[in-house]
Amino acid sequence: MRVLNLAGTEDTPKIVLDKDNGVFEISGRSLPEDSAEFFQPVLDWIDEYRQTSNTETRFMFKLEYFNTASSKLILDILSKLEDIDGTTIVWHFHEDDEDMEEAGEEFSDLVDVPFEFETY
């Protein structure tokens, strides 16, 4: 399965989805002009991955900031991950960032996927 590797910019997050090496990470800032278009390759990749997923998937979110449009797409990603057995979401947030911690807690309430919260 191909690796999805998108370099982060000032307005878009770094995304690495690598089944063979067990790396699933979205990090940085997410303020793309068109969130649906930006995240579509991620949603497509997860659809493909779901068919032959690893026995364990630790999906990391290490976002500094995301806008409202991105939050909808993050929820779409999380919803797709609900269907993949063995998935855990690891929600990283800066120890002083209560907003990002609360965002992770709200997402964890909306989907049926185990969440782990880690500070950095």
Does the pTM surpass 0.85? The reply is: yes
**Tally of domains within the chain:** 1
**Domain region containing 32:** 4-119
Round the CA-based radius of gyration of the chain to a whole number and report it: 13
The string of DSSP codes covering 9-21 is -SSS-EEEEETTT
* pLDDT tens readout for residues 41-64: 999 999 999 999 999 999 999 999
Give the phi and the psi of residue 59 in degrees, each rounded to 5.
-95, 115
* pLDDT tens readout for residues 88-107: 999 999 999 999 999 999 99
